[in-house]
A and B are shown apart, each in its own frame.
Chain A
Amino acid sequence: MTDLAPDVKKLMSQARDSFSPSEERIAAVRNALAARIEGAGGGGAGGAGQGAASGVWSAGSWIGLGVVVALGVTGAVALLDREPSQPSIPANTAVRVEPADTLPSIAPVAPSENVAPRVVEPARPAVRGQRAASNKLAARESLREPARANRSARPESNAHSRAVSAPAPRDVRAARATGPQPSAANVSDAPREAAAAERSSSAVVSASVENAARTRDESSWTAPERPAASRAKEAVAPPVVDESLAREIALLRRASKALAAGRPDTALALTEEHETTFPRGTLRQERLAARALALCALGRPLEAREAARALEEMAPRSPHLMRIRASCAEHEPR
Chain B
Amino acid sequence: MNTFMRTAAAPDIADAARGAAVGRPIHETFSSDFQTVYSQHVGFVWRVLRGMGVSDAVVEDAVQDVFIVVHRRLAEFDGRHSIRSWLFAIAYRVAREQRRKVRRTQDQLPFEHQIRDGAPTPAESAEQAEALQLACELLEQLDDEKRTVLVLTEIEGMTAPEIAEVTGTQLNTVYTRLRRARLQLNQAMAKWRKKKL
Q: Give the B-binding residues of A (Cβ under 8 A).
A: 1-5, 7-21, 25-26, 28-30, 32-33, 36-38, 41, 44-47, 53-58, 61, 65, 92, 96-102, 107-108, 110-111, 123-126, 129, 173-174, 176-178, 181-182, 185, 187-189, 191-204, 206-207, 229, 231-237, 254, 257-264, 266, 293, 296-297, 323, 326-328
Contact = CB atoms under 8 A, between A and B. Distances in A.
Nearest to B179: A2
A18 B124 contact: yes
Contacts of B186: 2, 4-5, 8
B143 to A, nearest CB: 6
Contact of A236 (B94, B122, B136): B122
User: By CB atoms of chain B within 10 A, which of A5, A100, A194 has the most?
Assistant: A194
B63 interface: yes
B28 interface: yes
Shortest 6 CB-CB contacts between residues of A and residues of B? A203-B113, A101-B119, A262-B101, A45-B25, A257-B57, A15-B135
Contact of B143 (A92, A189, A266, A327): A189
B109 A99 contact: no
Interface of B: 25-28, 30-32, 34-35, 38-39, 42-43, 46-47, 50-51, 53-61, 63-69, 71-72, 93-94, 96-106, 108-126, 128-132, 134-141, 143-144, 150, 154-155, 175, 178-179, 182-183, 185-186, 189-190, 193
Given A5-B185, A194-B99, A200-B113, 20 more contacts: A8-B186, A15-B136, A16-B154, A19-B47, A32-B64, A36-B68, A37-B68, A37-B71, A55-B31, A111-B122, A126-B64, A173-B61, A173-B68, A178-B68, A191-B141, A231-B120, A232-B120, A257-B57, A258-B58, A266-B61
B25 A261 contact: no
Given A56-B27, A102-B115, A187-B143, A125 B135 contact: no
Q: Which of A15, A123, A231 has the most CB of B within 10 A?
A: A15
Which among A16, A47, A124, A182 has the greatest number of chain B C-beta atoms within 10 A?
A16
B189 A126 contact: no
Given A20-B47, A110-B122, A9 B42 contact: no
B64 A257 contact: no
Nearest to A10: B131
A308 to B, nearest CB: 14
Provide the main secondary structure of the chain B interface. helix
B57 A4 contact: no
Contacts of A257: 55-58, 117
B31 to A, nearest CB: 5
Contacts of B46: 19-21, 26
Contacts of B189: 5, 7-8, 11
A176 B97 contact: yes
Nearest to A12: B154
A232 B140 contact: no
A21 B61 contact: no
A61 B135 contact: no
B108 A296 contact: yes
Nearest to A93: B123
Contacts of A185: 100
Given A182-B100, A199-B116, A260-B55, A11 B134 contact: yes
A11 B47 contact: no
Contacts of A45: 25-28
Contact of B65 (A11, A61, A99, A177): A177
13 contacts: A7-B189, A11-B138, A12-B150, A123-B60, A199-B113, A200-B106, A200-B115, A232-B120, A261-B54, A261-B58, A262-B105, A264-B105, A328-B108
A176 B65 contact: yes
Contacts of B51: 15, 19
B119 A178 contact: no
A197 B134 contact: no
Contacts of B105: 197, 201, 259-262, 264, 297
B60 to A, nearest CB: 4
Contacts of B39: 65
B57 A254 contact: yes
Given A196-B106, A199-B117, A55 B55 contact: no
A124 B190 CA distance: 36
